[in-house]
Amino acid sequence: KGIFNEKYGDIAQLIAINVDEQLIQALVRFWDPAYQCFTFNQEDMTPTIEEYASMLRIDNVQLNKIYVKEPKPMTFMKKLMKLTGMTDT
């Protein structure tokens, strides 16, 4: 458990969350996957970490912690393909 928590943080605690299916169904209608935000009457809204924690009923969110998805480094082949305008189809 210690090694997993070091590498992935508290993500394993999501398993124990009781999901409010009606809330999720209502929110999905307003989710814009292209912009990764909710859209209400042409207004974009992105929940804060605190709001996500409230919606998911997570009590132990570390508010002083930065949650970020690190980009994968581009391989040499991908860089070369991008420079030459090639696609990997």
Sheet holding 37-40, edge to edge: 31-32, 37-40, 43-45
Residue 42 has what pLDDT?
A: 87
Query: Of 71, 60, 70, which Cα lies nearest the Cα of 16?
Result: 60
Tell me the pLDDT tens digit for each residue of 49-67. Answer: 788 788 777 777 776 777 6
62 burial via Cβ count (<10 Å: 0-12, 13-18, 19+):
exposed
Token pair 């009590």: residue:
59
Tell me the pLDDT tens digit for each residue of 3-20. Answer: 887 787 777 777 777 888
User: Which pTM was predicted?
Assistant: 0.41
Average pLDDT over residues 22-46: 89
